[in-house]
Amino acid sequence: MNLNTHPPRWKTLLAFGIIYFVWGSTFLFIRIGVQELPPLLCAALRFLPAGLILFAWTALRGERIPTLRQWRSATLLAMLIFVGDYGLLFWAEQRVPSGIAAVMLATIPAFMALSEISLLRTQRLTIRLALALLIGFAGVGVLVSRSLNLGGSPIDTKGAIALILASMSWSVASVLSRRMPLPSSRAMSAGAQMLAGGVLLTLVAAAFGELRNLHLSAISGRTWFAIAYLIVFGSLIGFTAYVWLLHHESPTKVGTYAYVNPLVAVLLGYFAGGEPLGARTALGTLFVLISVIVITTTSAKKRLAPLAVEDAG
């Protein structure tokens, strides 16, 4: 990474705007997509074309094609990220508001910290980190609790469990990615993982019967627009801006999207999606974001750049 080059300020601001607001908006577009499409197929329609385009683009630029060993690693990570994380996210958004889904996935840094403490042994459980973890999980408790009288309904239990499992799946993939052979090119690594993920999602969708009795001609233009937005803006443009920023800004600064995306998703879900925004949502979001900020700033000196395919929505 060359941090000594100074691109025009407008380019930096534009790139941050993309990873902040475009990635934050993808949660609402996922919710639109799964209203008419089966969730795993919807995810496959997003990532298979995006993976093909990204992989072909990097290959045409002369990047080295992954070896068989690297493809095995990419496929394992794709299973955890695209089937385990995104597959569960798309499924959960049938039952959970898009803004709340974004807040629940913001717990990924907490699970990553736990993974680094227990598996990699690269972090110690300090008092500061322990408090941050407790605050984050307390935020989740606020969102799902049926005993707290905060107004508004707690989120669907099955949807909440799916989102927690999704966060755990991503955190495990992040830990494994540091120990597995992957292409040195960030773009090629991401393209290979995304392509493998799209194929796996298609196979799993077929295995669960999502392709039966599906009539694509009956899908509305609104849903197709949502899919196109997720492919072009959420995956391709968002990832391009993310990689560009990693070459011009510190990973710590780039990683600030982790606590901006949930705010964007909650506000967009409220104003554009008609989702509820009461005391329960506000308090749960606040707790989770405090946890994310503390964990990411505590780990900034020890953690390398995020996983190559990182894509918040």
Helix 186-207 to helix 238-246 angle (10° resolution) is 150
Rounded CA-CA distance 188/182 in Å is 9
Rounded CA-CA distance 53/117 in Å is 37
pLDDT, mean of residues 30-36: 96
The pLDDT tens digits of the residues spanning 260-277 come to 999 999 999 999 999 988
Rounded CA-CA distance 306/261 in Å is 16
Predicted pLDDT at 250: 77
Q: What is the greatest pairwise CA distance in the chain?
A: 59
Give the confidence band of 299 by pLDDT, cuts at 50, 70, 90: low
CA 106 to chain centroid? 9
Rounded CA-CA distance 53/78 in Å is 16
Q: What is the mean pLDDT of the chain?
A: 88
Give the confidence band of 218 by pLDDT, cuts at 50, 70, 90: confident
Place of tokens 């011009």: 248
Answer yes or no: is pLDDT of 236 > 60. Answer: yes
Assigned token pair, 97 = 């508001």
Indicate yes or no: pTM above 0.85.
yes
Contacts of 242 (CB under 8 A, 6+ apart): 15, 19, 254, 310, 311
Rounded CA-CA distance 64/115 in Å is 31
